[in-house]
A and B are shown apart, each in its own frame.
Chain A
Amino acid sequence: MKLKTLIVSSAGAIALAACGSASDAPAETSDAETTSAEAELHPMLAEVAAGTYSLEKNHAFMTVKVGHNGGITQYRISFTDFDGTLDFDPADPESSNLSFSINPMSVETNYPGDYKAGHADSAWESWNEDVSRDAKWLNADEFPEITFVTTAIERTGDLEGTVTGDLTLLGVTKPVSLDVSYGGVANPPWFGERDVIGFTAGTTVLRSEFGMGAYIPNISDEVIVEFTGEFLQDE
């Protein structure tokens, strides 16, 4: 956190309330700005510390959506155990670096009721375990980690960009691009001087490219992955 954080955050909030959209907020800088580097930054980036941030796991969500029954609706799954590290430079976001690791054993389907009662022949104790461990799904015993490592970042707007990287799923590594929006900085008092920055991200993966072809097209080949969450500046 820098000295002007609260003031600038407040100004940003007012601008957003007036505009109703982060991307519409004008990149205004006050006359009191002294350095050209800061003057060029969007107000929502101007007071953010550069450095390494780690996922603030209590405020982070990773959701996967597939079309079901030929796409008449979406089936929704969450991962509950994942971690990320972000080297963030607010003055040059394209030089940032993001890495993610997801535990495929941590699937949450919110399956209602007694799975075994309706699936007596299943090898698994729960639908969550089936999705995590079955060889036709995430096959977590053989591939205990899903990873994403950044290879390139392109800024497409003041607060938006694409993060391209290598996704490793089921032992197959393929390039994937995430559409990312930066949400701003917060400074909850319990984190002292450390900045908290928020993002949303989304991408669509073709699971067949990673060797998961079960039930296509009844369950869609396209897998929508959505993230929303916060990163906390390392101590």
Chain B
Amino acid sequence: MRKLVLAAGLMAATLPAHANPTLEGVASGLYELEKTHAFLTWTVKHNGISGYTVNFTDFDADLVFDAETPANSQLSVSINPGALNTNYPDPAKKVDWETELSTDPRFLNGSEFPAISFNSTSVEQTGEFSGTVTGDLTFLGVTKPVTLDVSYGGVANPPWFGQRDVIGFTASTTVTRSEFGNTSMAGIISDEVVVEFSGEFLQAEE
């Protein structure tokens, strides 16, 4: 059944491939999340039989990217647990359900812990365009190391951003929520939480 939840992550890895991802010519330096092209989801296994996927809709990230030595890069992420989209089908109940997930002590407990954060501590390049980013995840007031599997997708230069580079990534990890003190509805909701990111970073203006 682990396979079931991870299937989503595996499929995420098979994104429509970039023709020729390259690091050549990519500017090093500070990049900021391009929020209109960035997606962050968490998926738990529900009832032991299917995936339950929720979008974070308010998050930000800074990336200090070293194109020549990617292992020297640094990533910091901040997530607002009060901004969720569950795609719950009943509009009358959707807001209540998302508020409950965001704020209830059984779930994200955002009233007491209003930010989820990740700060990288080390980066390892494992392939030409892939690597692992290890860092400290702070969730529910608990800080633990977490390792992200990251793929670099390439660079784009849309004309409306002038000379600024846009670089794309996908990333995923599996968090064990009990390690952060969250054990509610164990058996109905999996301890493993698959977190997936896909999005773009825009070179900061000088």
**Residues of A bordering B, CB below 8 Å:** 9, 13, 16, 20-23, 57-61, 63, 65-76, 78, 80-81, 108, 110-113, 181, 183-186, 188, 196-200, 202, 217, 220-222, 224, 226, 228-230
Contact = CB atoms under 8 A, between A and B. Distances in A.
Given A67-B16, A199-B50, A58 B89 contact: yes
Sorting the interface of chain B by its residue count into under 10, 10 to 19, 20 to 34 or 35 or more gives 35 or more
Contact of B11 (A23, A226, A229): A226
Contacts of B51: 61, 200, 228-229
Contacts of B199: 73
B85 interface: yes
Contacts of A185: 49
11 contacts: A13-B48, A20-B2, A61-B52, A67-B18, A72-B156, A74-B16, A75-B198, A76-B41, A181-B4, A200-B7, A228-B51
Given A72-B156, A73-B200, 14 more contacts: A9-B48, A22-B3, A70-B18, A70-B154, A71-B168, A72-B155, A73-B153, A108-B85, A110-B57, A113-B35, A113-B36, A183-B49, A221-B16, A230-B47
A220 B57 contact: no
A112 B58 CA distance: 8
Nearest to B93: A58
A198 B47 CA distance: 9
A73 B168 contact: yes
Contact of B16 (A71, A113, A184, A202): A71
**Which residue among A57, A75, A220 has the maximum number of chain B CB atoms within 10 Å of its CB?**
A75
B16 A22 contact: no
A196 B37 CA distance: 35
A78 B51 CA distance: 14
Contacts of B48: 9, 13, 183-184, 186, 198
Interface of B: 1-4, 7-8, 11-12, 14-19, 21, 35-37, 39, 41, 43, 46-53, 55, 57-58, 85, 87-90, 153-156, 158, 166-170, 198-200
A199 B36 CA distance: 31
Nearest to A112: B35
Contact of A72 (B4, B50, B200): B200
Contacts of A112: 35-36, 57-58
Contacts of A66: 16
B1 A183 contact: yes
A200 B8 contact: yes
B49 A69 contact: no
B153 A71 contact: yes
A188 B167 contact: no
Nearest to B50: A198
B49 A75 contact: no
B168 A72 contact: yes
A69 B36 contact: no
B16 A224 contact: yes
Contacts of A186: 47-49
State the 6 A-B residue pairs at the shortest beta-carbon distance, nearest first.
Answer: A198-B49, A72-B168, A73-B168, A198-B50, A67-B16, A71-B18
A110 B55 contact: yes
B19 A69 contact: no
